[in-house]
Structure 1
Amino acid sequence: MDLLHNAVRPYAWGSRTAIAELLGKEVPAPHPEAELWMGAHPGDPSRVVGADGAERSLLELLSVDPDGQLGPRLAERWGSRLPFLLKVLAAEEALSLQAHPSARQAAEGFAAEEAAGVPRDAAVRNYKDPAAKPELICALTEFHALAGFREPSRTVALLRTLDAPALAPYTEMLVAQPDSSGLRALFTMLITLPQTSLSSLLPQVLDACVLHVKEHGEFDLECRTILELGESYPGDAGVLAALLLNRIVLQPGEAIHLPAGNLHAYLRGTGIEILANSDNVLRCGLTPKHVDVPELLRVLDFRCGDMDVMTGEEISPGVRVYRTPAPEFELSRLDLTGEARINHDGPQILICTSGAAVLTNVRGDELRLTRGQSVWLPASDPAVIVRPDGVESAQLFRATAGTD
C-alpha cells in the first residue's frame, strides 16, 4: 500500500475552494479546480509514492505487472488497464448536457471514426476509445444535477404552468404522446430548432420562468435552473432541453448512477465520482466543446421517471456500498468510529475525506492517511484493517472494480 500523488484538472466550471481546501492548500486557488483524478487515466495518471519517496506512474506499474497490480481476474478481462477512475468533482457552474455510449455503441463509433481516419486528438472526435463510460456520483456537499427524463405528465404540468404562447405546440406534442416516444420526438425537435425559432421561443420561456419564480410556484427550482442556464448559455438549445429532465438535489452520502444513454448535466456541488476509465462523451448543449446531436440521439435512452437516489447498502458497521450493474467499478463509503477490515481480489484506491485514518495489513505495515490523501492497494497486497487515527471518526471512500 502506497500513497498517491494525483493530478488536479483546472476546468473553467470548477471551484476555487473545494479541492484546495480538501488538499490543505491555499484558499482560494489561483484558478478554478474542477476534478482531482485518482487512477491510471493516460491523460493524467496518479503517481505511486514508494517507501523510499520515489514516485512512479501508476500507468507504468500496471503495464509492467498487470497480474500483481490488478490480479488475474481483472488482468484477464481488462489487460493492463485499470477499469475505473476515481475523482473528487467540484462544480461551481454547470457542466455540459451529455450522455455516454454503451460498450457496443462505443465499439461501433470508435471503429467508424478509425475507419474514417479521424485523428484521435481531433476536437470533433466523439469516440476516443472503444469503451463504455458509466458513472456514479456521491455527494460530499449538497449536490445539484439534471439527470434522466422526467415522467411526461410532470413535464406537461411544468410546460403548461409556464404558459408561454410559443411553447404551446411543443407542450401539446407531449400531451398527445406522453411516453418515451413522445419525449424522443419533443427532445429532438427542441434540440434541433433553427436559430430563428430558438430566438423567438427561448425569451418567452425565460420570461415565464421569471414570473413563476416571483410567484413562488410549484416548479420554482426547475425555473431557477432554466434561468441560470439561460444566463450562462444565451441562445443555447440545451436550455430548452433541460426542461425535460429531472432536477435533483443530493444530500451528502446520497448518490445517483448514470448508465449508458442517460442524459445529464452536473450543476454545482462537490462529490466523489467513480466512472469507467473512458473518454467517450457525447454533448448536445451548454458547452463550447464539440456538439454532435445526431450521434447523441443515437445513444440516448428515453426511458423516463424519477432517478433512483442511492444511500448505499450497509455491509458491515459503518461501511456502505453503492451497487450498480457496471463491471468497471464499485464505490464504498466508510464512516468509521472503529476498525473495519477491507479485502478484495483486485486493486483498490482509498481517499480520506474527513478526519484521519491508519491502514494496517497483516504483515504489520502501517500507513496514515490525512484528509485529502489517497492510497493505492494492488491486488497482491494482503487484507487491510483501517481505523480512525487521533479522532473519533473518519470518512473514506473506496474504489474497486465491479464484482460481476
Structure 2
Amino acid sequence: MDRLVNTVRPYAWGSVTAIPELLGAAPTGEPQAELWMGAHPGAPSRVARDGDGAQLRSLSEVIAADPEGELGPRAVERFGPRLPFLFKILAAASPLSLQVHPDLSRAEAGHAAEEAAGVPRDASHRNYKDTNHKPELLCALTHFEGLCGFRAPDETAAVLAALDVDSLQPYADLLHAKPEADALREVLTAVLGADHEDMARTVAETAAAAERLAAQEGPHRDVYAACASLARHYPGDHGVIAALLLNHVRLQPGEALYLGAGVPHAYLDGLGVEIMANSDNVLRCGLTPKHIDIPELLRVVRFESTAPAVLRPEADAGGEEVYGTPVEEFRLSRFDLAPGAEATLPTGTPQILLCTSGTAVLRRTDSGEELRLSRGESAFVRATEPVALAGDDARVFRATVAV
C-alpha cells in the first residue's frame, strides 16, 4: 500500500478553494482545477517504496519496474504494462471547453495520419496525442452542472424560438425540416463555420434574451441561465450557440454521468471525482481559445439526440456501491464505512483508493500493516496485496479496472 503524493493542475477554470478545502490545505490564491491520481506521464503520482519515505518515486516508474506485480497479469495482458486509467478530483469554477472524444478506431487512424504528416505531438493544432479512446465518468461530490449530448431537435427548436433572435431562426427551421442526424449535423456545422463578426452579434443578442428568460419561470430556465453565463465567460464564442443544442444536466452529490465516444459535453460548475481512459485525445467545439478542427470534429461527433444517463451506484452483497459503465479500462465504486464496519477488497487488479470524508484505514490482511487516509488523501494498492478497508464514518472511492 502506497500513500500517493499527487499533482494539482492549475487550469484557469479551476476553483481557488474547492480542492484546498477537500485536502484541508490553505488556498494558494491561484485556481486549482484538477488533482491527478495515477501514472499519466503528464503528472504521475509519486510514492515512497522500500521504506524510504524521503525518496519519492514516480508511480509510472514503479509500475514499469514490475508490471505484473503492480497491475496483475490480467490487466497487463489486456492493456499492456501501464495503468489504463487516470483518476482525478475536478473542481470547476467556470465552464470548461465544449468538447468530444474519439472512439478507439478513430483515435488510432487519426494518430497514424498525424504521425505520417509529421505533426509534432506538442503542436497546438494536433488532435491525436495518442492512439487511445477517452471514455470518462464524472461523479459529483457537490451539486454539479454540465452539458451532455444533443437535445431532441424539436425541443431545441422551441428553445431557440423562445429567444426571439432573428439570426437563430434559420437554425430552428433546419431542426424542424430535416431528419434528426442531418439537422444536428447541419446546424452544428453552420454555427461553427459562421462569420466571426456575425456570430459575435448573435451571441450578444442571444445572451441578452437568455438573461431575460432566465429571470422568468419556464421549462428551460436553467438552459437560458447557462447560456447567459457562457456568454459572460466567452463573449462572442461560437460555442455559446452550439451549447444550446445540448442537454443541460444537474447532478446531486453521489450521482454520476458517463460520457462515451462522440458525445459533445462541457462541465460548467462543481466538484467531482472523474475517471477516464488514459488518453489526451480531445476535439473541441467551442468555449475555448484553443484550436478547433471542424472537419475532424464532424467525423467524430455522434449526431443523435440522447437523454443524459444519470447513474446512481448499485450496492453488492459486500457493501461496495458500483457505478456501472460499458468499458474495461476503468471501474469506479465507493464504500460508506460506519465505525466498526470492514470490507475486504478483491486482489488481482491495481487499485487507487480516495477518501472523501471521515478517516479510512487500509490494513494488509497478511501482515497487519496499516495505512490511514484522511479526507482528500489517496493510496495505490498493488494487484498482489490483500487489503481490508475500515473507517470511521468514511466514504472511500475505489478506482480499478474492469477485467
- The TM tier, using the shorter chain, reads over 0.9
Aligned mates of 1:352, 1:307 — CA distance in 2:
28
- Report SS of the residue matched to 2:258: strand
- Report SS of the residue matched to 1:68: helix
Deviation, 1:362, is: 1.6
Deviation, 1:199, is: 3.2
Give the residue type in structure 1 aligned to 2:184.
L
Quick check: 1:190–1:240 contact (8 Å CA) kept in 2?
A: yes
Flag structure 2 segments of 5+ consecutive residues without an equivalent: none
Quick check: 1:135–1:273 contact (8 Å CA) kept in 2?
A: yes
Flag structure 1 segments of 5+ consecutive residues without an equivalent: none
After superposition, what is the alpha-carbon deviation per residue over 1:137-177, rounded to whole angstroms, capped at 9, x for unaligned?
A: 00000000011111222212211222222211210110112
Tell me what 2:8 maps to. Answer: 8
Tell me what 2:154 maps to. Answer: 153
Quick check: 1:166–1:204 contact (8 Å CA) kept in 2?
A: no
The answer to whether residue 377 in structure 2 is matched with residue 373 in structure 1 is: yes
Give the residue type in structure 1 aligned to 2:10.
P
Task: Kindly report which structure 2 residues correspond to 1:204-283, keeping only aligned pairs within 5 A, or say none.
Answer: 204-283=205-284
Aligned mates of 2:271, 2:214 — CA distance in 1:
26
- Report SS of the residue matched to 1:386: strand
Tell me what 1:117 maps to. Answer: 118
After superposition, what is the alpha-carbon deviation per residue over 1:14-53, rounded to whole angstroms, capped at 9, x for unaligned?
A: 0111111111111x32210000000000011001123331
The answer to whether residue 389 in structure 2 is matched with residue 397 in structure 1 is: no
After superposition, what is the alpha-carbon deviation per residue over 1:72-97, rounded to whole angstroms, capped at 9, x for unaligned?
A: 11112222211000000000010001
Tell me what 1:57 maps to. Answer: 58
Give the residue type in structure 2 aligned to 1:44.
A
Give the residue type in structure 2 aligned to 1:348.
Q
Task: Kindly report which structure 2 residues correspond to 1:28-39, keeping only aligned pairs within 5 A, or say none.
Answer: 28-39=27-38
Aligned mates of 1:168, 1:41 — CA distance in 2:
45
Tell me what 2:83 maps to. Answer: 82
Quick check: 2:204–2:231 contact (8 Å CA) kept in 1?
A: no
- Report SS of the residue matched to 1:85: strand
Deviation, 1:305, is: 2.4
Aligned mates of 2:327, 2:156 — CA distance in 1:
29
The answer to which of 174-183 and 122-131 deviates more is 174-183
Deviation, 1:293, is: 1.8
Give the residue type in structure 2 aligned to 1:342.
L
- Report SS of the residue matched to 2:310: coil
Aligned mates of 1:317, 1:256 — CA distance in 2:
24
- Report SS of the residue matched to 1:136: strand
The answer to which of 111-120 and 334-343 deviates more is 334-343
TM-score w.r.t. length of structure 1:
0.96
Deviation, 1:192, is: 1.3
- Report SS of the residue matched to 1:355: strand
The answer to which of 223-232 and 162-171 deviates more is 162-171
- Report SS of the residue matched to 2:122: coil
Aligned mates of 1:197, 1:231 — CA distance in 2:
18
Deviation, 1:178, is: 5.2
Quick check: 2:347–2:384 contact (8 Å CA) kept in 1?
A: no
Deviation, 1:318, is: 4.0
Aligned mates of 1:43, 1:169 — CA distance in 2:
44
Deviation, 1:317, is: 5.4
Tell me what 2:343 maps to. Answer: 340
The answer to whether residue 17 in structure 2 is matched with residue 17 in structure 1 is: yes
Deviation, 1:202, is: 2.2
Quick check: 1:83–1:277 contact (8 Å CA) kept in 2?
A: yes
- Report SS of the residue matched to 2:106: helix
Give the residue type in structure 2 aligned to 1:29.
T
Aligned mates of 2:29, 2:48 — CA distance in 1:
26
**RMSD of the TM alignment (CA)?**
1.3
Task: Kindly report which structure 2 residues correspond to 1:288-327, keeping only aligned pairs within 5 A, or say none.
Answer: 288-316=289-317, 318-327=319-328
Quick check: 2:133–2:281 contact (8 Å CA) kept in 1?
A: yes
Aligned mates of 2:374, 2:188 — CA distance in 1:
46
Give the residue type in structure 2 aligned to 1:360.
R
Quick check: 1:173–1:186 contact (8 Å CA) kept in 2?
A: yes
Quick check: 2:347–2:385 contact (8 Å CA) kept in 1?
A: no
Quick check: 1:153–1:178 contact (8 Å CA) kept in 2?
A: no
After superposition, what is the alpha-carbon deviation per residue over 1:239-298, rounded to whole angstroms, capped at 9, x for unaligned?
A: 000000010000000001001111011001000000011111111211122221221111
Quick check: 2:70–2:384 contact (8 Å CA) kept in 1?
A: yes
Aligned mates of 1:123, 1:301 — CA distance in 2:
24
The answer to which of 199-208 and 306-315 deviates more is 199-208
The answer to which of 177-186 and 362-371 deviates more is 177-186
Paired residue for 1:356, among 356, 359, 367? 359
Give the residue type in structure 2 aligned to 1:46.
S
Aligned mates of 2:133, 2:110 — CA distance in 1:
11
Aligned mates of 1:20, 1:242 — CA distance in 2:
30
Aligned mates of 1:81, 1:189 — CA distance in 2:
41
After superposition, what is the alpha-carbon deviation per residue over 1:67-125, rounded to whole angstroms, capped at 9, x for unaligned?
A: 11111111122222110000000000100010111110000010001000011111111
Give the residue type in structure 1 aligned to 2:151.
R
The answer to which of 204-213 and 302-311 deviates more is 204-213
Equivalenced residue count is: 398
Aligned mates of 2:145, 2:215 — CA distance in 1:
22
- Report SS of the residue matched to 2:268: strand
Aligned mates of 2:201, 2:20 — CA distance in 1:
43
Deviation, 1:182, is: 1.2
